[in-house]
Structure 1
Amino acid sequence: MSCHDHEVAHVLERNRGRLAYHCANSWQARTLHALRKCRTAALGGHIDLCDNPGCHKLHLSYNSCRNRHCPKCQGHKKEEWIRAREADLLNVPYFHVVFTLPCELNRLCLYEPKMVYNLLFRTAWDIIRDFGGNPKFLGARMGMIAILHTWGQNLSLHPHLHCIVPGGGIAETGKWKNTKGKGKYLFPVKAMSIVFRARFVAALRKELGESQPTSFYESLFKNQWVVYCKRPFFGPSQVVEYLGRYTHKIAISNHRIKGLEGGNVRFMVKDYRHGGKRSMLQLTDAEFIRRFSLHILPKGFTRIRHYGILSSYHKRTIVPKLQEVLGKPELADTAPLKHGKCPSCKKGNLVTIAVFPARGPPNGWREQIEKHINRPK
């Protein structure tokens, strides 16, 4: 059953015969069709029985598409990811750093998304690594978790990288070394911005060569590039929850959609340049689908990446040792993950007793199963 009155899937369903016309490639079209079918009979489903003797209610559920761009499939994945990352936390300050690409690169992002976004990841890590390795700023090996977002509030193309960076690193002595001001200051943002622009353009020129005119590269130096940095909230206990807001976020969530009248989509937007002021934006179905499609990542593209001492290779050995020395932060108590709890009694676990294909459950399925359950043993 739908949890929202209006959903992205509703827009896609009423335009099901024209989705391919709004996409740049077949991969985008396949993704939109997967989102359209999510938790509908088109994907089949299963029948679950509550194992609580005082309940024994039956529940019919349609299968999820499990696509990472789907508004209905991210909640549980987010919770699982958060719990896994809690084990990696250090009892040190953490910083939120954002690297943003200028709008002059938007056209290139449309035609070469994998190349541009890979350069963004690589350049951002090079800056954090090299600034951290410089004795003038820190002189230590650092780590980083980075998550790619490509959208603005109005669904326009706005590629940027959200990074969580521990406030310190491992010095040559092998001991932990905090950043300046006892971990209250990372690196100078203006210097990071200048280096970010210079390195990214140099890497882009190397990739594209003479395929782009000199005027294109010159246009990238006309304005300052944006690097944002602040210490997130009150300390490491909030870092993973804070990061969780970004990891499995998609271009637009269903709760922001307020109306689907007359072939248009009306949704809520925030203007962060004016203190997060809220307003309504209306787009035609065609324009909404076109903008949404801009944020479907290339097949197999990794949008969450770990670097340095937080990479999968190093954290198995380095992080446990650092936690022994620095300690692990105290985390707020969190409710356990709910895997298949009965929505009726809230006590029993749901046990799948039957599955059905895309054509849907057989007629009279409830009576047949209840008869089977209640038959004499």
Structure 2
Amino acid sequence: MVYETINGFANGVNYKNREDYQKKKRSKKGGVLWQSGMIGAVHTFGRNVGFNPHVHALIPEIKTRGKEVKDMEYFDYKYFRKVWQFKLINYMISKRPERKVEYLKMFKDYPNGFYINAKSRMKSARGAARYIGRYLARPAIAEYRIISYDGKNVTFWYKSHETNEKVEETVTAQVFVGRLLMHITPKYFKMVRLYGVYAGSISVKVRKCFGLLHYIKSGLKAI
């Protein structure tokens, strides 16, 4: 049920984004808007192996409009926080209108928007590939973080988000295995989603554009 909810929220917010984009596109003279993209990977586990659903997002520093491709080096993360909060809360209200008052209270409880941890920019395509690859295949806990098992209890460590200090935790083997099992996704659950320039035929066009740019910069002449 939990994974169905996460999947439903992800699909719903994505559908609303597409709908809003099409509305803006129709209202704009010429009907062409700048578009970027995102690779989103859903994770359900936190550092202590507890249930903490979140999304890792990889965003390119480019934008496209028709045949144009331009650099996009600035991102307003304060704005992203607000938009993420607005989209998600409104989708939650559409699915559970009886809890509207409770959901709207989150605007007051989180005046700066929902949490977004903006990492520093990546300097190479190889580094970006390693980053997203690591998160796509990452288990709930790495083996080296498990300190001991005495036949009844498991002791492991993690770094606290609040203090960034190492924290050790001991739980029963049953609790530890239970935490791991709840992060096994059901069959066909979509962990990775592609948006904008990464999606379908658009990504093919973008790759062709970059191929042509590299060709032009190389100074080679066509035969």
**TM-score, normalized by the shorter chain, greater than 0.5:** yes
**Letter of the structure 1 residue corresponding to residue 206 of structure 2:** I
Q: Name 1:324's counterpart in structure 2.
A: 212
Q: Give me the TM-score of the superposition, normalised by structure 1.
A: 0.48
Unaligned runs of 5+ in 1: 1-110, 328-377
Contact kept, 8 Å, 1:268 with 1:281, in 2: the verdict is yes
User: Partners of 2:94 and 2:160 in 1: how far apart?
Assistant: 36
Q: Name 2:221's counterpart in structure 1.
A: none
Q: Name 1:145's counterpart in structure 2.
A: 39
The counterpart of 2:68, out of the listed 160, 172, 175, is: 175
Shift of 1:167: 0.8
Aligned residue for 1:158, secondary structure, equals strand
Contact kept, 8 Å, 2:12 with 2:91, in 1: the verdict is no
1:113 aligns with 2:10: no
Please list, as runs of the form range in 1=range in 2, the aligned pairs for 1:214-229 lying within 5 A after superposition: 214-221=100-107, 222-223=109-110, 224-229=113-118
Contact kept, 8 Å, 1:121 with 1:146, in 2: the verdict is no
Please list, as runs of the form range in 1=range in 2, the aligned pairs for 1:62-101 lying within 5 A after superposition: none
Let me know the Cα RMSD of the aligned residues.
2.7
The counterpart of 1:203, out of the listed 84, 91, 95, is: 91
Q: Name 1:363's counterpart in structure 2.
A: none
Please list, as runs of the form range in 1=range in 2, the aligned pairs for 1:9-158 lying within 5 A after superposition: 111-120=1-10, 123=13, 126=17, 140-158=34-52
User: Partners of 2:140 and 2:11 in 1: how far apart?
Assistant: 19
1:166 aligns with 2:63: no
Which is further off, 111-120 or 262-271? Answer: 111-120
Please list, as runs of the form range in 1=range in 2, the aligned pairs for 1:302-321 lying within 5 A after superposition: 302-321=190-209
User: Partners of 2:153 and 2:134 in 1: how far apart?
Assistant: 28
User: Partners of 2:83 and 2:196 in 1: how far apart?
Assistant: 20
In proportion to residue count, which structure has more helix? 2
User: Partners of 2:214 and 2:84 in 1: how far apart?
Assistant: 31
Q: Name 1:192's counterpart in structure 2.
A: 80
**Letter of the structure 2 residue corresponding to residue 242 of structure 1:** Y
**Letter of the structure 2 residue corresponding to residue 123 of structure 1:** V
1:205-236 C-alpha deviation (Å, 9 max, x unpaired): 212333xx344313433223112324433233
1:135-164 C-alpha deviation (Å, 9 max, x unpaired): 9xxx51212111011111111111110011
How many residues are matched? 202
**CA 146–121 in structure 1, closer or farther in 2 if over 3 Å, else same:** farther
Q: Name 1:54's counterpart in structure 2.
A: none
Aligned residue for 2:189, secondary structure, equals coil
Aligned residue for 1:314, secondary structure, equals helix
Unaligned runs of 5+ in 2: 216-223
Q: Name 1:293's counterpart in structure 2.
A: 181
**CA 146–267 in structure 1, closer or farther in 2 if over 3 Å, else same:** same
Contact kept, 8 Å, 1:150 with 1:160, in 2: the verdict is yes
**CA 283–219 in structure 1, closer or farther in 2 if over 3 Å, else same:** farther
Aligned residue for 1:250, secondary structure, equals coil
1:8-27 C-alpha deviation (Å, 9 max, x unpaired): xxxxxxxxxxxxxxxxxxxx
Aligned residue for 2:49, secondary structure, equals coil
Shift of 1:256: 1.7
Q: Give me the TM-score of the superposition, normalised by structure 2.
A: 0.78
Q: Which has the higher contact order (CA 8 A, sep 6+)?
A: 1
Shift of 1:257: 1.4
1:264 aligns with 2:156: no
Contact kept, 8 Å, 1:143 with 1:309, in 2: the verdict is yes
